[in-house]
Amino acid sequence: IYIHMNDVDQFVIFSGLKLQQFVSSVDPLRNLLLLKNTYDDGMFNNHTQHDYIVPEEIKKFAKKANNAAELCWIDFEYERQLNDLTAREQAELLYIAHKREPISVPFFQKLQNRYVYIASTGEKVTKIYFKHLSDADMLIANVFNQIIRERENVSSFFRRRPKSSLPSITPEFLKAYRSY
């Protein structure tokens, strides 16, 4: 896995991160507004003309979307917030989906979003904007721990080492190695 963090613009670029890993490594996601994709089992918002995913469907969506060529979504709290978006705010969302970067800040007061998720399987890159970079630290630590556990499960058959002996990586541990 490759990771590049831009703390000024509050995004992290990953290579090797899957949507399922993201979903299982962060706090439970609220609704997801799909900016580039459709989803048959999702809901549709007439005001924005976009599909959205309710919390109960997110894991199922993550499993299906792992094969999507491009994926772009933003989380939000309640559907009524989508109906309050101005034409300019909707245009900013479309710009994010098209250019893979925001016009200004990618966090909307009306939506109360924590993330903007942009992935391209062709480029093998995932770019995630984080409202709080501490969420990025938690994601990275959890993904590393998942990968270590998966590798240990594959090789532990022959070594018979107890799984409890594996140390966990914490966000604080990762912060200690940053240059800023």
Residue 109: predicted pLDDT:
95
Grade residue 138 by pLDDT with cuts at 50, 70 and 90.
very high
Tens digits of per-residue pLDDT, 76-104? 999 999 999 999 999 999 999 999 999 99
Residue 1: predicted pLDDT:
83
DSSP string, 65-129: HTT-SEEEEEEES-HHHHHT--HHHHHHHHHHHHHSS-SS-S--TTTT--EEEEEETTTTEEEEE
Residue 163: predicted pLDDT:
55
Q: What is the mean pLDDT of residues 52-78?
A: 91
Grade residue 127 by pLDDT with cuts at 50, 70 and 90.
very high
Residue 167: predicted pLDDT:
75
Tens digits of per-residue pLDDT, 10-54? 999 999 888 999 999 999 999 999 998 888 889 999 999 999 999
Rounded to whole angstroms, the Cα distance separating 146 from 130 reads 21
Domain ranges of the chain: 2-132
Q: What is the mean pLDDT of residues 139-165?
A: 72
Residue 40: predicted pLDDT:
85
